[in-house]
Structure 1
Amino acid sequence: MIEKKIRLGNLYAFYGKLLTEKQQDILNLYCIHDFSLGEISENLGISRQAVYDAIKRSWKILQDYEDKLGLLNKFLKTRGKVNKLLKSIDEFSLDLSSDCDKKYILNRIDVFKRLLLEILDEGL
């Protein structure tokens, strides 16, 4: 359940502006402020069922956008590669505290360059 709500929040972050103002209001309260359906219902003066239906409908709309555009998936892949690069740099900086030869250093720099080029190529 929590994974689904996190996914909805991520989709909302990417595509939320494409929803109606009412849908945005409901998802903002649900995803960002973590309001319950009852709390949203009280705040917006609509039925709990209307809140549930709006969330369900918005979920489908946002997922359709993701299926067509894939922006969230691209972002998550890129973030994974950036984290991998940061980990490699951290490991490299630890290696530098010991005696490293020039060839080793240049090889590690080439690895960093390849990772950066992968990230850049995904953006195109």
Structure 2
Amino acid sequence: MSQENRLEKTTRINLLFDFYEPLLTDKQQMFLKYYFHDDYSLGEIAAEFSISRQAVYEHIKRAEQVLEMYEEKLGLMDKHYRRSRELDKLKQQLQESDLNDKQAGAVMNVIEQLEAIDRMD
């Protein structure tokens, strides 16, 4: 796997982890954190938990599959990014609109509240 593909995969897993961490087992959370967040090697994780590298690899692969399954079924990450894009479009349209400052401020306030709600989810 190329360095670029590895980075894309790591970024995707970290994002999925942000959305679905509470749905993973403690072991899945721990192994993913060590491997993707803290950049431990399979060997380092195996030594830490006194298990084989193959066992670590299988735990991580299974956790990745679970994250992808949750995203496929729930789509939280996809929905988040679609909402973000639409809110950005609204901001752009607001800047290009003929609303007075007071009206524009009120609309921007609603947009910011929606963004805040989205960050809390």
Q: Same fold (TM over 0.5)?
A: yes
Q: Aligned partners of 1:46 and 1:77: how far apart in 2?
A: 41
Q: Aligned partners of 1:46 and 1:62: how far apart in 2?
A: 23
Change in CA separation of 1:25 and 1:81 when aligned onto 2, cut-off 3 Å: same
Query: Which digits, 9 at most, give the CA deviation of each residue in 1:80-115, with x for residues without a partner?
Result: 3445556x39xx4xx9xxxxxxx8344x939x56x9
Per the alignment, residue 60 of structure 2 pairs with 55
Q: Aligned partners of 2:31 and 2:104: how far apart in 1?
A: 48
2:34 is the counterpart of 1:39: no
Give RMSD over aligned pairs.
3.3
2:14 is matched with which residue: 6, 9, 12? 9
Q: Aligned partners of 2:66 and 2:23: how far apart in 1?
A: 9
Unaligned stretches of 5+ in structure 1? Answer: 96-102
Q: Give the TM-score taking structure 1 as reference length.
A: 0.67
Larger radius of gyration: 1
Matches within 5 A, 1:16-27: 16-27=21-32
Alpha-carbon offset, residue 41 of structure 1: 1.4
Which 4+ residue blocks in structure 1 deviate beyond 6 angstroms? Answer: none
2:98 is the counterpart of 1:104: yes
Q: Aligned partners of 1:64 and 1:36: how far apart in 2?
A: 25
Matches within 5 A, 1:69-108: 69-84=74-89, 88=92, 92=95, 104-106=98-100
How many residue pairs are counted as aligned between the two chains?
Answer: 106
Q: Give the TM-score taking structure 2 as reference length.
A: 0.68
